[in-house]
Amino acid sequence: MANVTVIGAQWGDEGKGKIVDWLASRADAVVRFQGGHNAGHTLVVGEQTYKLSLLPSGIVRGTLSLIGNGVVLDPWALQAEIAKLEGQGVTINAGNFGIADNCPLILPLHRDLDGLREAAAGAGKIGTTGRGIGPAYEDKVGRRAIRVCDLAHLDALTPQLDRLCAHHDALRAGFGEPPVDREGLLAALREIAPFVLQYAQPVWKRLNEVRKGNARILFEGAQGVLLDVDHGTYPFVTSSNTVSGTAASGSGLGPNSTGFVLGIVKAYTTRVGSGPFPTELEDEVGQRLGERGHEFGTVTGRKRRCGWFDAVLVRQSCAISGVTGIALTKVDVLDGFAKVRICTGYRIHGQLVDYLPAHAADQAAAEPVYEEMDGWEGTTAGARSWADLPAQAIKYIRRIEELIETPVALVSTSPEREDTILVRDPFMD
């Protein structure tokens, strides 16, 4: 039996929540390995809808759920999310949930800095969620972060606070803001510490124990490969590595443990916020995709930009992340289109290119080269086998496989967990 790593192979919002929930019901442990509460996963279980931002998706099923060291943790957001889920009847305790004790914290000063920067950036806005993710990662690599384990030693925090405040006070002064309220920050940390520490543990050790028991581990990524700080459409990216290789460093298990890499891919393309988007449709077709796909961000509520499927980007994501197979989602949104299009290449400054270049100017200049196919009548919604799909929908799926050079492992045909066509079982690969 294999472990499985789940990543988004586009700009996020590919429908990871439903797929991770489907896999989590068969896993023994689920671990988040990067990002923060800027992620948004929606799970539909029967009549109940759960919206998660920070908690691993397995928690709804009672599966052991862990937050790895690669995540930046807002303890107040976590407290609110746990309270909300418990109000929906989900049981969360130290037996089924854990937080890496070396996980960095997102503090109020990080949210402040995020907002100040975006407000001052004008046309240079990146489009962050404003939740302090980027500044928290900066402090992590700057070796001035306050981590979960520090909450048990707040009386010894003075040297770290000195480093942290020296940095942030200078930045805040540049924006005309007062220095960090150190006593207020310490008081807030003392108040939240008991709540967080009840879940704190060496997650790397817990995962290694699970692995020795020959159990199934599901590594849950956030955002998408095209938002990776190295490989995404920089600077319009997130502040962490979202590729599958991060599952090892962000959880504490070695790279030989990450197993089958499942890339979640939407049957068309969407993006939230600023940045290049070669296949974006600002017409009635784009409007139709957004309305039928209910394309609004789980975290921000922002309307998503919509466009045709971009095989160039997905092929690039699959290569960078070593994707073993994809889970194709939201095929049903394309039901009823007379024609569907797939981007097979770009024309940039007159040259035909088969990848998205690194420079933002070249990305912005990319004009999609399309291949057009007949659409299909009837519906794919709720299909649970190939026999339930229209023939032309199958042709569309097979053409995507060819163009992205990666096989389909799953096809999702609705938000419901059981509306899934299993082609290749990731846990048995």
Active site residue 41: yes
Q: What's the Cα-to-Cα distance from 126 to each of 168, 227, 238, rounded to whole Å?
A: 21, 12, 9
Q: What's the Cα-to-Cα distance from 330 to each of 42, 58, 264, 317, 337, rounded to whole Å?
A: 14, 22, 11, 19, 14
Token duo for residue 369: 């080269």
Cα gap 262→144, rounded to integer Å: 35
Cα gap 423→162, rounded to integer Å: 55
Q: What's the Cα-to-Cα distance from 136 to each of 132, 168, 249, 425, rounded to whole Å?
A: 6, 11, 18, 37
Q: Out of 21, 28, 37, 41, which one is annotated catalytic?
A: 41
Identity of the residue numbered 72: V
Element (H, E) at 173: helix 158-174
Q: 231: phi > 0 → left, psi -120 to 50 → alpha, else beta; which?
A: alpha
Active site residue 13: yes
Identity of the residue numbered 6: V
Q: Which residues belong to the active site? A: 13, 41
